[in-house]
C-alpha cells in the first residue's frame, strides 16, 4: 500500500524515521524549512548507517542505495504524491494544527496523515483536516533505528482501515506496536513523564543529589538510564511541554510540573542539546 513516505521535520526524530523507512526500501521525502537542518539530517542518517554496518546490522554495500532513496525538500507541495506523511515537528499544538491543515490541502486524498506527537491529541489534530478518518498517531521512540516500539494512537474518528494499514506497516518495519487510546500522554509518557517530574521534585526538595537519584533508579529498578539523565536526553523543554499537556488535559494537580523544571527551562538549561541540564555536556 505504501511506496512513498513523507517525513515533515528533519530533526532527531524526523531523520530517524526517514532512516528506518529508507532502510526498509521505501522512497522517502524529508521536509524542513531549514536547508542547514536538512543537510545535518542527511549527514546524520549516513553516519548512523555506517555505525549499523560496523555492527553487522546492514551491509556496507547497502548504504549508498538507502541514501539514494531519501530526498530532501523545502517545498511542502512535493508531498503531493506521498501515500503516507508522518509529521515530526516540534511538540506544539498550534504548529501541528497549522501543518495538518496545509498537508490536508497538498497530499492526495487517499493518503494517510500520521503524527509522531508524544502527547498531543490525535482527535484534535484530525479535526482540522477534511480526512479525520485517515489521521493517526505513530509515536516512534528515540533513537528510532534502535528502539523497537511504535506507539499507535487512534483518534476518535480514525477508521479501522487506517488503523489496520498502519499496524501492518509497523510490522514491516520490524517494530512492535503498542496501541493507545487518545488521552493525554498516551501510554509511554503518561507513565514516564510523571516519574521524571517526581525525580525533579526529589532533587528540588533536597532528598538526594541528581547523581544519587539516577543511581538509585538505575541500580534499584534496573533502568538503563536514570530519570534525570533521561530528561536531559529528551530535552527539558519537551519534558515540561508534556507535563503541561498532562496537567491541562486531566486538570489533576498530580501532574503539576516541578518549579525547578520550569526554572531550568526558563534559563535555557534544556539538557544535552544546550550543553547544560541536570548534568553538563
At 27 the pLDDT is 98
Percentages helix, strand, coil for the chain (3-state, rounded to 5) are 55, 15, 30
pLDDT at position 66: 98
Annotated binding-site residue? 104:
no
How far is it, in rounded angstroms, from Cα 204 to Cα 51?
A: 39
**Residue 138 forms beta bridges with which residues?**
152
C-alpha pair distances (Å), 84 with each of 2, 140, 178, 232 = 7, 15, 20, 32
Taking the CB of residue 63, how many other CB atoms lie within 10 A of it? 17
DSSP 155-168: -TT--HHHHHHHHH
List phi, psi (to 5°) of 129.
-105, 170
pLDDT score of 1: 82
Q: Which domains does the chain have, with CATH numbers?
A: 4-181 (3.40.50.720), 189-274 (1.10.1040.10)
Percent of the chain beyond pLDDT 70? Answer: 100
pLDDT of residue 91: 86
Mean pLDDT of 54-72: 96
Query: What pLDDT, on the 0 to 100 scale, is given for residue 125?
Result: 98
The pLDDT tens digits for 265-274 are 999 999 999 9
C-alpha cell, 137: 498517531
Query: 171 among the known binding-site residues?
Result: no
Mind telling me the catalytic residues?
A: 118, 139, 151, 189
The b-or-e profile of 139-173 (16+ CB within 10 A means b, else e) is: bbbeebbeeeebbbbbbebbbeebbebbeebbeeb
Q: Is there a binding annotation on residue 251?
A: no
Residue 263 has pLDDT above 90, yes or no: yes
Look at residue 119 in the predicted model and tell me its pLDDT: 87
Q: What is the mean pLDDT of residues 6-28?
A: 97
pLDDT at residue 150 greater than cutoff 90: yes
C-alpha of 91 from chain center: 9
User: What is the 8-class DSSP label of residue 111?
Assistant: -
What is the Cα–Cα distance from 134 to 36, expressed in whole angstroms?
A: 32
- Count other Cβ atoms within 10 Å, centred on residue 259: 11
CA angle 189, 195, 201 (to 5 degrees): 130
User: Which pTM was predicted?
Assistant: 0.91
Q: Would you say 277 is a known binding-site residue?
A: no
d(CA 154, CA 133): 9
The predicted structure's pLDDT at residue 205? 98
237 annotated ligand-binding residue? no
Name the 3-class secondary structure at 36: helix
- 274 appears as a binding residue in the annotation: no
Mean pLDDT of 195-221: 98
At 3, is the pLDDT very low, low, confident or very high (cuts 50, 70, 90)? Answer: very high
Q: In what order do the strands lie in the sheet with 70-73?
A: 70-73, 27-31, 4-8, 84-87, 112-115, 135-140, 149-154, 176-181
pLDDT of residue 11: 93
Give tens-digit pLDDT for 213-256. 999 999 999 999 999 999 999 999 999 999 999 999 999 999 99
DSSP per residue, 246-279: HHHHH--GGGPPPHHHHHHHHTT--BGGGTBSSS
Q: What pLDDT, in 10s, does the model give residues 65-112?
A: 999 999 999 999 999 999 999 999 988 899 999 999 999 999 999 999
pLDDT reported for residue 265: 98
Q: Rounded to the nearest 5 degrees, what angle is found at the Cα of 214, between the Cα atoms of 211 and 216?
A: 105
83 is in an annotated binding site: no
> What is d(CA 70, CA 210) in angstroms, rounded to the nearest whole number?
41
pLDDT above 90 (res 201): yes
Amino acid at each position: 500500500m505504501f511506496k512513498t513516505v513523507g517525513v515533515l521535520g528533519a530533526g532527531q526524530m524526523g531523520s530517524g524515521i526517514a532512516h528506518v523507512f529508507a532502510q526498509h526500501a521505501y522512497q522517502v521525502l524529508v521536509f524542513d524549512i531549514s536547508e542547514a537542518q536538512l543537510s545535518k539530517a542527511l549527514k546524520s542518517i549516513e553516519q548512523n548507517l555506517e555505525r549499523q554496518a560496523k555492527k553487522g546490522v546492514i551491509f556496507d554495500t547497502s548504504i549508498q542505495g538507502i541514501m539514494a532513496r531519501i530526498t530532501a525538500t523545502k517545498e511542502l507541495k512535493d508531498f503531493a504524491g506521498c501515500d503516507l506523511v508522518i509529521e515530526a515537528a516540534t511538540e506544539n499544538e498550534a504548529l501541528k494544527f497549522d501543518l495538518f491543515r496545509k498537508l490536508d490541502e497538498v497530499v492526495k486524498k487517499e493518503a494517510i496523515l500520521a503524527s509522531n506527537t508524544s502527547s498531543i491529541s490525535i482527535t484534535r489534530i484530525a479535526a482540522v483536516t477534511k480526512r479525520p478518518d485517515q489521521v493517526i498517531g505513530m509515536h516512534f521512540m528515540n533513537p528510532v533505528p534502535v528502539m523497537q516500539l511504535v506507539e499507535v494512537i487512534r483518534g476518535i474518528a480514525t477508521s479501522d482501515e487506517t488503523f489496520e494499514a498502519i499496524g501492518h506497516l509497523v510490522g514491516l518495519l520490524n517494530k512492535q506496536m503498542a496501541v493507545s487510546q487518545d488521552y493525554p500522554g498516551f501510554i509511554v509518557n503518561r507513565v514516564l513523564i510523571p516519574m521524571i517530574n517526581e525525580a525533579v521534585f526529589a532533587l528540588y526538595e533536597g532528598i538526594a543529589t541528581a547523581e544519587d537519584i539516577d543511581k538509585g533508579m538505575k541500580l534499584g529498578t534496573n533502568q538503563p538510564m536514570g530519570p534525570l539523565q533521561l530528561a536531559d536526553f529528551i530535552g527539558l523543554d519537551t519534558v515540561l511541554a508534556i507535563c503541561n499537556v498532562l496537567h491541562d488535559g486531566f486538570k489533576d494537580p498530580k501532574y503539576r510540573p516541578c518549579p525547578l523544571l520550569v526554572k531550568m527551562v526558563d534559563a535555557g538549561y534544556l539538557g544535552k542539546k544546550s550543553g547544560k541540564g541536570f548534568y553538563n555536556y
